[in-house]
């Protein structure tokens, strides 16, 4: 038997063996972009990217543009806006220019009458096709201000409450199964009016919290919030200190 034939036999044995074994653990990537006082979180998958708010300070898009296009430029990009405060949607017009395959997943209906918001909604961004994933959504009904209009999302163990207040947290916490939530994007960038005791008590598996803000100028995350989390032994990671914050989740593959 020649060496070539022996090699082919071994290759085929390995190929067919691995073809039928269980696939390795599936890994997905998330990033909280360093956009200053604002929020932009992206969930990067093999064939798509989901963006939860696309805000930030003036000039922040230029800082993340290269990395963003590298990971999401040729993929389907789903867009969700928690509420219509400028620091949560300020980069939308830049995003629409750069990503040809951009579609709306959801947005808050409160505040859409604003002229600035109407201009964005009139962009040629289609609705996204329906998707099957573990996306849990809470839409507020009692709204007194823009922050209280925040749509809350939990996906793959990541909780994104927008600028939802402690008062609102008491309403939506019972509607979520938060036992396995591992990452909290701090509400209102770490303001003392968000991330209350009740919410933290309902997050037994929380590994860390992320503050997308600038303490040097806006005093976020607030020391009271940091102290609440410290009592629960939850570290706070700040984009101001670390830049873009990348982390992984390990969702279970859905059976075909």
Low-confidence ranges of the chain (pLDDT < 50): 7-24, 254-256
Q: For position 21, what pLDDT does the model report?
A: 37
Q: For position 130, what pLDDT does the model report?
A: 81
Write the Ramachandran bin of 219: left for phi over 0, alpha for psi from -120 to 50, otherwise beta. Answer: left
pTM for this model (two decimals):
0.87
Q: For position 58, what pLDDT does the model report?
A: 94
Q: Quick check: 87 and 37 in contact, CB under 8 A?
A: yes
- Cis before 221 (ω within 30): yes
- Domains, the chain, with CATH or none: 27-249 (3.60.15.10)
pLDDT digits (tens, 9 = 90+) for 188-216: 999 999 999 999 999 999 999 999 998 88
Q: Quick check: 191 and 199 in contact, CB under 8 A?
A: no
Q: For position 139, what pLDDT does the model report?
A: 96
């Amino acid at each position: 038997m020649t060496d070539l034939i022996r090699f082919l036999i071994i290759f085929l044995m390995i190929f067919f063996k691995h073809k039928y074994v269980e696939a390795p653990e599936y890994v997905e990537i998330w990033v909280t972009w360093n956009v200053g006082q604002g929020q932009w979180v992206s969930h990067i998958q093999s064939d798509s990217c989901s963006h939860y708010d696309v805000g930030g300070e003036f000039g922040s898009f230029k800082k993340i543009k290269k990395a963003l296009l590298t990971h999401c430029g040729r993929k389907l990009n789903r867009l969700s806006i928690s509420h219509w405060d400028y620091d949560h949607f300020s980069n939308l017009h830049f995003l629409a220019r750069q990503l040809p395959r951009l579609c709306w997943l959801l947005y808050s209906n409160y505040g859409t009458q604003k002229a600035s918001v109407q201009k964005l909604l009139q962009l040629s961004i289609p609705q996204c096709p329906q998707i099957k994933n573990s996306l849990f959504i809470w839409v507020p009904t009692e709204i007194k201000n823009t922050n209280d209009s925040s749509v809350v999302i939990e996906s793959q163990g990541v909780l994104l409450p927008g600028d939802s207040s402690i008062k609102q947290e008491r309403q939506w916490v019972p509607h979520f199964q938060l036992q396995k939530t591992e990452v909290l994007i701090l509400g209102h960038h770490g303001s003392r009016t968000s991330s209350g005791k009740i919410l933290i008590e309902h997050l037994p598996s929380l590994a860390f919290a992320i503050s997308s803000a600038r303490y040097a100028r806006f005093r976020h995350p607030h020391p009271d919030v940091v102290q609440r989390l410290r009592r629960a032994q939850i570290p706070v990671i700040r984009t101001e200190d670390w830049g873009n914050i990348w982390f992984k989740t390990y969702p279970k593959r859905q059976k075909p």
